[in-house]
Each structure stands twice: as C-alpha cells, then as structure tokens.
Amino acid sequence: MTNRLRTEIQEEEAELAAEKAAEESVKVKAKKDVPENFLTQLFSKELVSTEKATSALPFVLFLAALGMVYIWNMHQAENNIRDIDKLGKEVKELSALYKSAKAELAYKSTLSQVSAQADSLIGLKEPVEPPHKITVKEGEQ
C-alpha cells in the first residue's frame, strides 16, 4: 500500500508541477503581450487594487468637487472683473458728460449770455442810464 500511495503522491506532484509550468508559460506570454510602461507595472504589481481604489473613491470625489468649486470661483471672478471694467468705462463717460454740462452752464450764466437771452426771449434791455435814487421824507407819505 505504501508504494501505491507513494506513486499517487508522486503523480499528483508531477501534475501540480506541470500546471505551474503551464501557468508560468501563460504568464510569460501574457507579459510579452502587454507593453511595459508605468501604468501596467503599477497595476500588475498590485500596488493599486480594487479594494484600495474603492476605499479612496470618496476622497477622489471630494477632490473632483473641490476642483469644480475652484473652476466656478475663477469664472465668477472673471465675470466680476468684466463688470468692473464696464462700470469704469461708464463712469468715465458720465464724468465727461458732467464736465461738459458744467462748462456749458458756466458759459450760459455769464453776464453777456444772460443779457443776450433776456433781450431775445423776454425783450428786456440793459438800461443805459444809471438808476435814480428815490428818497422819501418822513413827513411825506
């Protein structure tokens, strides 16, 4: 019996050795088919496994959300800068209008312009004679 058991064990060992050799040849063929680069080495050496990737997923999603908030913030800042530039141009334009209106008012309020407007519109003329002083005596009323 011992010989038969020994032969069975030896046969099983031979089969296992043949299977291992077949697996190694398949691995060698598979390795030859896959190009050697950083990503294939990273995933083939089990540095990144599905468990690790699954456990890191919330952090990756947090980083993605943080990136979207950053992009939105930059967009809003650029819009604010555009609005500020637009308002600055409008202020310059209104300032120029104010200065021209103020200069026109100063010109039209001069004595010569006021007298010319009064003469043409109302018919008032500037007196040539100086005004007379009216005196009232206390007894006369």
Average pLDDT over the chain, rounded to an integer: 85
Which pLDDT does position 48 carry in this prediction? Answer: 65
What does residue 36 show for φ and ψ, rounded to 5 degrees? -85, 105
The whole-angstrom separation of Cα 42 and Cα 36 is: 10
Most confidently modeled range among 6-10, 92-96, 110-114 = 92-96
pLDDT value of position 126: 83
Q: What is the pLDDT of residue 67?
A: 98
Number of helices (H) and strands (E), helices first, in the chain? Answer: 4, 0
Decide: pTM greater than 0.75.
Answer: no
pLDDT of residue 103: 97
Per-residue pLDDT band for 124 (boundaries 50, 70, 90) equals: confident
